[in-house]
């Protein structure tokens, strides 16, 4: 496995290996909150081919805000020792196994969060009806996941989730994208960033679903998350806005809904501007 240490790496408190019924180990990274009285726990799923430590610019602010972080190293990661053994959609069941194994270590309600492929993974943990792998014991949802942070979730993809599946999200959710957020490998039809919207648009009205669209932001905030070696200027100011809005969302809905905090979040609702926030 590639050594994740580096000048921007948030060194984990531990890396845990949990044997799974499938015969492999779930590799789980754990960062402890940096404050004495933690608020709660975030279970984070990384994007395709990435790795947990490549999201330290998300993870460190969450730790500083009082959250413990659990994050599996999924088999589709180029840093996973078994990645060649899991081609194509074989990664889907493995991701779900990883998330449920990590969730079993959390003895309280938690936040499901993720980026790109990981955003889909988190949404399914929160109740979106993903396609059930043939040998995976249903249900896919974990009722202890009280809300979801979904950064750049993919569109409906056969074998992963249908349009109807996105309508099943059962908890409050914040879906984030940017108007330059083109999904890798997906054709650009002029407004290709809109492929990230179904996770919000197909969800039922009245369930505290929020959409955050950031002007000028691409799929990885430049190279700030997911692909830190990519040659692009990091969009750190925009990432800070996303972290701020995610923090307000968590204050409003985790571990339960709080009226005053929700009203404060709703003062930021606007259909226009560099930080566009909608609710349904």
Backbone angles phi, psi at 110, to 5 degrees: -140, 170
Query: Tokens 């959409």 identify what position?
Result: 211
**pLDDT at res. 128:** 96
Higher pLDDT, 125 or 190: 125
Query: Tokens 């969302």 identify what position?
Result: 249
Residue 189: pLDDT band (50, 70, 90) is low
**pLDDT at res. 12:** 63
Residue 138: pLDDT band (50, 70, 90) is confident
How far apart (Å, rounded) are the C-alpha atoms in residues 191 and 182?
A: 9
Residues in the chain: 280
Task: Enumerate domains of the chain plus CATH numbers.
Answer: 14-279 (3.40.50.1820)
Q: How far is CA 5 from CA 2, 44, 47, 79, 95, in A?
A: 9, 19, 19, 13, 24
Give the pair of three-digit tokens for residue 263: 């009203």
**pLDDT at res. 191:** 76
| Mean pLDDT, residues 198-210 | 93
Q: Which of 3-7, 135-139, 271-275 has the lowest mean pLDDT?
A: 3-7
pLDDT of 185 > 60? The answer is yes
Q: How far is CA 268 from CA 145, 175, 182, 211, 215, in A?
A: 25, 15, 25, 12, 15
């Amino acid at each position: 496995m590639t050594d994740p240490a580096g000048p921007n790496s948030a060194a984990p408190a531990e890396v845990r290996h949990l044997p799974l019924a499938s015969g492999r180990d779930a590799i789980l990274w754990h960062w402890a909150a940096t404050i004495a009285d933690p608020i709660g726990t975030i279970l984070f799923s990384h994007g395709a081919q990435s790795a947990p430590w490549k999201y330290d610019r998300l993870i460190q602010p969450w730790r500083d805000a009082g959250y413990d972080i659990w994050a599996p190293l999924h088999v589709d990661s180029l840093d996973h020792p078994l990645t060649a053994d899991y081609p194509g959609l074989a990664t889907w069941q493995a991701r779900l196994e990883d998330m449920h194994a990590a969730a079993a270590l959390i003895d309280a309600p938690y936040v499901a969060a993720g980026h790109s492929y990981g955003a889909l993974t988190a949404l399914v943990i929160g109740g979106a009806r993903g396609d059930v792998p043939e040998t995976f014991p249903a249900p896919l949802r974990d009722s202890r996941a009280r809300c979801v942070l979904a950064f750049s979730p993919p569109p409906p993809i056969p074998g992963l989730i249908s349009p109807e599946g996105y309508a099943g999200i059962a908890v409050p959710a914040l879906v984030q994208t940017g108007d330059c957020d083109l999904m890798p490998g997906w054709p650009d039809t002029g407004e290709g960033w809109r492929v990230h919207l179904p996770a919000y648009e197909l969800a039922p009205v009245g369930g505290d679903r929020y959409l955050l669209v950031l002007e000028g932001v691409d799929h990885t905030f430049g190279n700030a998350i997911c692909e830190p070696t990519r040659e692009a200027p990091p969009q750190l100011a925009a990432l800070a806005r996303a972290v701020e809005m995610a923090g307000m969302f968590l204050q409003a809905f985790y571990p339960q809904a709080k009226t005053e905090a929700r009203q404060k979040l709703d003062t930021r609702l606007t259909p226009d501007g560099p930080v566009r926030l909608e609710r349904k």
